[in-house]
Amino acid sequence: MTPSSWPCPLPGGGIREEYALVFDRQRGPRVLIVPALFDEGNRMRRFTVEVMRRLDRAGCDSFLPDFPGCNESLQPLEHQDPADWTDAMAAAARHFAASHALGIRGGCLFTPERLTAMHYAPVKAASILRQMVRARVLASRESGHEERREDITTRAIERGITLAGYALGADFYRHFETMTPRDDAQIIAQEQVGGSGLWLRAEPDENAGQADALAAIVAAAITA
């Protein structure tokens, strides 16, 4: 596994280098991994890397790019729009010459259309936002003041909002809310991987058995 970079297109033109973790031995199967989003991405980061290690042992290269505005990216998250993230993942796929894509949870919303895709436990954008709004409501209540979900949603649509520590612009919220995963991907349900989803844990975690299972499913699909 090595750190790498890739040329990410900017909304107004030009490019900016963004970070990626890669296992690249110039083999035929080359999997772009589109990670889970926001807190789920943090909880599942180690798990995702462990899946990549297993894909490497199975003879598959893999690439894990950052979304602009997330992780190591220096771009402001509040300036992003879902279309920017769609363009970014397409650019990463081209740069790394990916042959397939694996979306994880919310990452399934951004798997490039031109690639054959597998979606692990895909989720709609509206569901992600509901959980983030709920977390804000509970945090506000614990700090001694009440916020209504309806007021939070209205503020987000009109002016943008910070949810779970992530600053989302109004355009991002409006356009993201209606997104659903593409319907032509191979679905990998949690039941196929075993146990409960790591995104449900309170803290980042990993599970070797689940990583084994997911990597085996992906490797079998792309090397058949």
13-56 confidence digits (pLDDT tens): 889 999 999 999 999 999 999 999 999 999 999 999 999 999 99
Residue 65 CB neighbour total at 10 angstroms: 29
Tens-place pLDDT, residues 83-107: 999 999 999 999 999 999 999 999 9
Residue 27 exposure: Cα atoms within 13 Å on the Cβ side: 20
Looking at residues 59-73, what average pLDDT do you find? 95
Is the model more confident about 165 or about 224? 165
Looking at residues 158-186, what average pLDDT do you find? 95
* Band of residue 8 on the pLDDT scale cut at 50, 70, 90: very high
Separation of alpha carbons 146 and 142, rounded Å = 9
List, in order of start, the domains of the chain with CATH numbers: 2-123+183-223 (3.40.50.1820), 124-180 (no CATH)
pLDDT at 202: 74
pLDDT at 100: 98
Under a CB-based contact definition with an 8 Å cutoff, are residues 90 and 112 in contact?
yes
Q: C-alpha angle 171/177/182, rounded to 5°?
A: 115
Under a CB-based contact definition with an 8 Å cutoff, are residues 44 and 103 in contact?
no
Q: What is the pLDDT of the chain when averaged over all its residues?
A: 93
**pTM assigned to the model:** 0.93
Separation of alpha carbons 212 and 179, rounded Å = 30
pLDDT at 13: 83
Is the model more confident about 67 or about 202? 67
